[in-house]
Amino acid sequence: MTIAELAASAEIRAHAEAGRITLSHPARQRGTMRGARFADIRHALTTALSGEAQSNGCWRIDSADTDGDELTVIVAIWHDVLVITVFQEIEPMKCPLCNKGAVKAADVEISERVAGHTFTATIHGEQCDACNEVFYPGPAVEAFEIAVARALTSTDEAGGETFKYARKAVGLRAEDLASLLGVARETISRWETGKHPIDSAALAVLALIVKDAAQGSTSTLEVLRARREAKPLSKRVALKLAS
């Protein structure tokens, strides 16, 4: 911290302690929306450890409200009063389940039981600080499910439950996979319900599609689709070889 910042933070604290605070209209509106009371602003300013100078001569104060939740305010020092100009838009999302807590970033555990195996992982999610409810971001859930499918299809012991899980994890409809594999739609359902043993070549292809998905690729799917759309081969075929 520079001397200027040190001096400013001492001055800001002194003004705040004495209650010499003025709120601009936008700051008041934003504060009300966020649920920040005057006491919160005063608390944030009196407990602030440092301020950062802004290019317009204002100071940015990163602090906390009376509940300890993050509160950032921009203040201008006017003669003998602090003017709160704006609140930073970092208001935490309110929990839609309990309507009380704030939802904050947290490492959360995700787990699922499939085909007799329990899979667990830690993902970057969110958690309510009041009811402790956990929120899983969609892309992280998708990555988790693809990782589960990858583990399940990594052996040849896979049964119908595994086959169906893996197919759905990569977002393939049963009729689409049937068409790509050149089997009937009913065949897929017989494999998935365990009425027929799964063709091991079909399982290997599904495992490849899953492996691709885990790496963000669709190359196996592209090969399968290209085969379906390819024109019949001519009697005489001139090939271009890589030199």
102 binds Zn ion (CB under 5 A): no
Which of 131, 184, 204, 223: binder of Zn ion (CB under 5 A)? Answer: 131
User: Least distance in Å: CB of 96 to Zn ion?
Assistant: 8
User: Least distance in Å: CB of 222 to Zn ion?
Assistant: 44
Which of 8, 82, 95, 158: binder of Zn ion (CB under 5 A)? Answer: 95
Nearer of residues 76 and 130 to Zn ion, judged by Cβ: 130
93 binds Zn ion (CB under 5 A): no
Nearer of residues 126 and 192 to Zn ion, judged by Cβ: 126
98 binds Zn ion (CB under 5 A): yes
Closest Cα partner for 101 from 160, 12, 35?
35
Near Zn ion by CB under 5 A, which window of 24-32, 45-53, 64-72, 101-109?
101-109
31 binds Zn ion (CB under 5 A): no
Taking each helix axis as running N to C, give the angle between helix 185-192 and helix 160-169, from 0 to 180 degrees, rounded to the nearest 10.
120
Near Zn ion by CB under 5 A, which window of 35-43, 124-132, 165-173, 218-226?
124-132
Instruction: Extract long-range pairs of 156-164: CB within 8 Å, 24+ residues apart.
Output: 156/200, 156/203, 158/115, 158/198, 158/203, 159/115, 159/194, 159/198, 160/191, 160/192, 160/193, 160/194, 160/198, 161/114, 161/115, 161/192, 162/114, 162/115, 163/191, 163/192, 163/198, 163/203, 163/206, 164/192
